[in-house]
Structure 1
Amino acid sequence: MSCNKVKCVVWDLDNTIWDGTIIEDDNVVLNNKVVDIIETLDKRGILQSICSKNDFDLAMNKLKELRLDKYFLYPQINWNPKSEGIKNIAKSINIGVDTLAFVDDQEFELDEVKYSLPEVLLINAKNIKEIPNMPEMNPKFITSDSKNRRLLYQNDIKRNKIEEEFLGTKEDFLKSLDMKFTLSKLEDEDLKRAEELTVRTHQLNATGYTYSYEQLYEMSKSDKYFILMAQLDDRYGTYGKIGLAVIELGENLWTLKLLLMSCRVVSRGVGTIILNYIARLAQKNNVRLLAEFVKTDRNRMMYITYKFGGFKEILSENEKIILEADYSKLNPMPDYIEVIEKEELACIS
C-alpha cells in the first residue's frame, strides 16, 4: 500500500473523531485536531466516510450538530463487522479497497479489517496527527476537479436518487438530464488533471497506462500524437473533466494508446460516445483506427466498451489485445446527449 495514493479515508467515531462513547454519553467532546485533518484531506480531493459500530440516528445527529456530516459519503453506522462496512463504502464510491485507509482506536477492529481486507491502509487513532504528512495522503497535484471531488460525488448521489424514483425507461431518464459532452484538445491548463486521471482511473482504463505531466506535455506538443479531453455536464451541474484519449497518429494508421473514463460516469454511456467520435475522425481522415487493450484485474468493462463501439479483435498477445474499428458498424450518436466539439479540434477534423 505504501506506493498507492489514498482515495478515501474511512473514520471510526468513538474516541477517534470525538472523545468518548456517544451511546453512553451524548456529551462527547470533538477532537479538534481531527477536524483540521478532515478539512485538509477534503481540500486535497481525498474522499471520506464513516464506519462505526453505533446507533445510526444518534451518531448522525451528532455529526450534523458538529457540522461534520457534509464531509462523509455513504456512512456505515451499524453493528456489523467493520470490514463489511468498508467494502460497502468502496462499492458505493466505485473504487478499489486498496485505495482506502481506515482510522480506528481499537486494535481489535483494525485486526478484523486487516484479516478480511489486507489491502486497506490501517491507521491507529493515536497516530492521527501523522495523517496529513503521509505520502499516501499527498497527491502530486491538486486540481479544480480534485478540490471539488466531494461535491461532484454528492451531486452523483442526488442524481442516483432521482434516477431510482424516475418513472420511465433508462433512455428517458438520460434524456431528462440534458447532458452536454464537451470534447476538446488537451491544453496546458488541463495537464495536471490529465495526469491525475491516468493515475487515479483503474476500472475504466483500457490499458492501465499512466502518463506523467511531462510526458503528456511532450505528446500534446507533438504532431505524432493527439490527446482528447472530455467534460460532462447536465442540468444538475458538472461532472468535471472525466475522460481522456491518447491517439498516436501515423500516416495511414491511428492507434488509441489510452482511453479512460472516470468511474462516476460509467452509467452515462460516454465511453462509447468518445469511441464513436474518434472513429469518425479517423474515417474522415482516411486512416485505419486500432486500439490497444491491456487486461487488468478491473478493466473488463473497457473491452466491452470497445466491442459495443464497433471494434473487432485482430491480434492477441498474452494480456495485450489489438482491436480495429469497423467503420461499417458505427452507431449514430445517441439523442439523449449533446456532443460539443471545441473549435481547436478543427485542425484534426
Structure 2
Amino acid sequence: MTVKQQTKKIKCVVWDLDNTVWQGVLLEDKQVVLREKIKDMMNSLDERGILQSIASKNDWDKAMTKLEQLGIKDLFLYPQIGWNSKSESIKTISESLNIGLDTIAFIDDDPYERDEVVFTHKEVRCIDATETDNLLDRSDMNPEFITEESKRRRSMYLAEVDRKLAESDFKGPKDSFLKELEMKLIISDAKEEDLKRAEELTMRTNQLNTTGVTYSYDELDQLRKSDDFMLLVVELNDKYGSYGKIGLSLIEMKGDKWNIKLLLMSCRVMSRGVGTILINHIMMLAKQNKKRLFAQFVPNGRNRQMYITYKFAGFKDVSKSGDLIAMESDLANIQQFPDYVEVDIV
C-alpha cells in the first residue's frame, strides 16, 4: 500500500506531425513518408493502453487525408491540427480525455515548440522527436500490467465520443438520456482475474480516488482472501459497448465497524452516478449486517468530487488527523438505485 508516485505513468502521447511522425513538411514538400519504425511504435503504445493524439500546426484537411493514407488516422483521439499554440492544443486534449497534464508526453522535433509547452505546462514531459528510439523502453511508458481494458482503451474512448455526440443532440432531461443508454452496472466481489485491472485502477485513477492510495497485485490478493476485508469491483456496460471494470472499493470489517478504506471510479463514468450507487450498496450491506459504517478521505487537490459524493450520501466528518478525514454514515439516508440503470449484484 503506497501513496501515488510523483512520476506517473504516461496516459497519452501527443505527437507533432512534420519531421516527427513523418519526414518532411506537409505543406512544403511534394511527398512526406512515415519515419522508420514509427507505425510499429504507435501500435505498441496502443496495445499497452496508452492513448495518442496530435498537436500540429498544419492544414486540418490535408493532414487528416495524409494520416488516412498512411493508415494511422484511427490511432489518434481529439487531434488538434490548426494554428493554435501547442500548449493550448495539449490543454484541449487533456480536457477532452479528462486526464491530467502530468500524464501526457509531447513529442516534437522543434525545440521552440517543446520549450513553449514546458513554459506553460511544466507537468508535461516533452521529448525530442530525434530521441524516440528508446521510447518504448521508458519506465513511464510501461504499465505494470496490460489488461483487457488496456487493449480496448482507445475503442472505449471512441465509444465515449459517440455517447457525447448523442448527448449533445438529445433533447430532454439528463435522466431521460441516461435511460436511453440502457446501462447495466455489475457489482461483484473481486476475483483473482480482476486483480490486474484493480491494481491498474489504483495506479491510474487520481481525480476520483478517495484516498490516493495504490495497492499492488499481491496486496490486493491478500486483502481479497482476508476475512477482515471486502474488495468490490464495478463493471459498466451500455448500448454503445463496455466501459470495462471502472470502479473499486475496499472495506475493512472489524467488530461492529466497517470502514471504507478506498473508493474510486474511472473518470469516464464521472457523470453516470455510479459512485453514488456503489456507496448506497455498501450502506445497505452495513445496515443489513447491523454494522456502523465509516469512510476515509484524503484530499489531493483533484478528488473533491468524491468528498461531495460521500456528503450527498449522508456521511459526516467525525475526526481529522493530518490530511486524513474520518467520516461516518448513520445509514438513515440510503437511496434506491436510479431507474435509468440496471444494477446486478453478483
For this structure pair, what is the TM-score category when the shorter chain's length is used for normalisation?
over 0.9
Partner of 2:234: 230
Deviations 1:57-96 (A, max 9, x none): 1111111121211111111111111011111111110111
Q: Select which of 137, 154, 158 maps to 2:158.
A: 154
Unaligned runs of 5+ in 2: none
Partner of 2:302: 298
Partner of 2:197: 193
Deviations 1:145-173 (A, max 9, x none): 01111111111111011100011110000
TM-superposed CA distance for 1:317, in Å, is 2.7
Do the aligned partners of 1:34 and 1:128 also contact (CA within 8 Å) in 2? Answer: no
TM-superposed CA distance for 1:2, in Å, is 8.0
2:304 counterpart of 1:313? no
Distance 2:286 2:74 in 1: 45
Q: Select which of 210, 220, 223 maps to 1:219.
A: 223
Partner of 1:346: none
Distance 2:275 2:232 in 1: 13
In the TM superposition, structure 1's runs of 4+ consecutive aligned residues that sit over 4 Å from their partners are none
Q: Select which of 12, 18, 38 maps to 2:16.
A: 12
2:52 counterpart of 1:42? no
TM-score of the two chains, using structure 1 as the length reference? 0.96
Partner of 1:81: 85
Deviations 1:214-261 (A, max 9, x none): 110100010010000000000111000000000000120000000000
Do the aligned partners of 2:55 and 2:79 also contact (CA within 8 Å) in 1? Answer: yes
Partner of 1:347: none
The number of equivalent residue pairs is: 342
Please give the secondary structure, in 1, of the residue aligned with 2:263: strand
2:104 counterpart of 1:100? yes
Q: Select which of 32, 35, 40 maps to 1:31.
A: 35
Please give the secondary structure, in 2, of the residue aligned with 1:49: strand
Please give the secondary structure, in 1, of the residue aligned with 2:150: helix
TM-superposed CA distance for 1:122, in Å, is 1.0
Do the aligned partners of 1:255 and 1:289 also contact (CA within 8 Å) in 2? Answer: yes
Do the aligned partners of 1:2 and 1:136 also contact (CA within 8 Å) in 2? Answer: no
Do the aligned partners of 1:12 and 1:50 also contact (CA within 8 Å) in 2? Answer: yes
Please give the secondary structure, in 1, of the residue aligned with 2:131: helix
Deviations 1:108-131 (A, max 9, x none): 001111111111111100012110
Distance 1:223 1:317 in 2: 27
TM-score of the two chains, using structure 2 as the length reference? 0.97
For 1:274, the aligned partner's letter is L
Do the aligned partners of 2:292 and 2:330 also contact (CA within 8 Å) in 1? Answer: no
Do the aligned partners of 2:41 and 2:136 also contact (CA within 8 Å) in 1? Answer: yes
Partner of 1:57: 61
TM-superposed CA distance for 1:32, in Å, is 3.6
Partner of 1:21: 25
- Give the RMSD, CA atoms, in angstroms: 1.1
Distance 2:36 2:179 in 1: 45
Do the aligned partners of 1:295 and 1:319 also contact (CA within 8 Å) in 2? Answer: yes
Partner of 2:258: 254
Distance 1:26 1:210 in 2: 51
Q: Select which of 117, 127, 131 maps to 2:131.
A: 127
Do the aligned partners of 2:209 and 2:263 also contact (CA within 8 Å) in 1? Answer: yes
Unaligned runs of 5+ in 1: 343-349
Do the aligned partners of 1:252 and 1:288 also contact (CA within 8 Å) in 2? Answer: yes
- The verdict on how the C-alpha distance between 1:114 and 1:224 changes in structure 2, with shifts beyond 3 A counting, is same
2:313 counterpart of 1:273? no
Please give the secondary structure, in 2, of the residue aligned with 1:129: coil
Distance 1:165 1:63 in 2: 29
For 1:42, the aligned partner's letter is D
Please give the secondary structure, in 2, of the residue aligned with 1:328: coil
TM-superposed CA distance for 1:138, in Å, is 0.6
Distance 1:163 1:32 in 2: 41
For 1:175, the aligned partner's letter is K
Distance 1:337 1:326 in 2: 26
Distance 1:327 1:214 in 2: 33
TM-superposed CA distance for 1:311, in Å, is 1.3
Please give the secondary structure, in 1, of the residue aligned with 2:245: strand
Partner of 1:345: none
For 1:4, the aligned partner's letter is K
Please give the secondary structure, in 2, of the residue aligned with 1:171: helix
Q: Select which of 132, 141, 144 maps to 1:140.
A: 144
Distance 1:219 1:293 in 2: 19
Please give the secondary structure, in 1, of the residue aligned with 2:40: helix
